[in-house]
């Protein structure tokens, strides 16, 4: 993500969508952040309680101050926020013993979640959103004049990862 966004010369492009109604790169980063927040709250509860009731997790909502910050923040600031949240998630997951990956949280509103399934959900969500960011960067012309490393597309980067996602 950093390799794609930090070299962009015209940062205003990251706040623009290709067509009206389509998400900008910044909007897609917000989507990643929001999903990370929702998943982390459930993961934390599952990791720290036996068979927790996930319906007790309050729905994710931005405060007015957060909304104002979000409107003024750059896409790179949004990327930094995503990175900070991901570090919290990874720290939580790394601290768990192997046996904890099968822990379950129950919900009558949504569905029951296994900790491993939540982690896989985040990985799949990331892949989908990163694919959209990759496409959007090309369509808005943000990669023009950048180095080959900054123009590398997601499928090529995914080939470097030895793990196959569901």
pLDDT tens digits for range 121-150: 999 999 999 999 999 999 999 999 999 988
| pTM across the whole model | 0.90
User: Which pLDDT score is estimated for 162?
Assistant: 65
Cα first-last separation, the chain: 21
Model pLDDT, residue 124: 96
Half-sphere exposure of 118 (CA within 13 A, CB side): 31
- pLDDT for 164: 58
Identify the segments of the chain with pLDDT beneath 70: 162-166
Rounded alpha-carbon distances, angstroms, from residue 64 to 2, 33, 58, 67, 69: 28, 17, 17, 5, 9
Rg (CA), the chain: 17
CB 133 within 8 A of CB 126: no
Give residue for tokens 């990956």: 101
3-state DSSP call for residue 52?
A: coil
Report all structural domains of the chain as residue ranges with CATH numbers, in order of start: 2-159 (1.20.120.450)
Q: Which long-range contacts (CB under 8 A, 24 or more apart) does 150-158 make?
A: 150/3, 150/4, 150/7, 150/8, 152/3, 154/127, 154/130, 158/127
């Amino acid at each position: 993500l950093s390799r794609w966004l930090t070299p962009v010369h015209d940062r205003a492009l990251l706040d623009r969508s290709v067509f009206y109604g389509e998400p900008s790169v910044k909007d897609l980063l917000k989507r990643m952040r929001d999903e990370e927040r929702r998943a982390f709250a459930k993961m934390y509860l599952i990791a720290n309680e036996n068979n927790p009731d996930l319906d007790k997790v309050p729905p994710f909502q931005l405060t007015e101050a957060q909304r104002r910050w979000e409107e003024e923040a750059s896409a790179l600031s949004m990327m930094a926020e995503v990175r900070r949240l991901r570090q919290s998630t990874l720290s939580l997951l790394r601290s768990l013993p192997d046996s904890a990956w099968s822990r379950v949280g129950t919900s009558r509103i949504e569905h029951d979640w296994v900790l491993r399934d939540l982690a896989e959900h985040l990985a799949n969500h990331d892949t989908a959103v990163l694919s959209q960011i990759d496409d959007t960067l090309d369509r808005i012309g943000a990669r023009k004049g950048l180095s080959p490393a900054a123009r590398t597309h997601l499928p090529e980067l995914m080939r470097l990862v030895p793990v196959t996602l569901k």
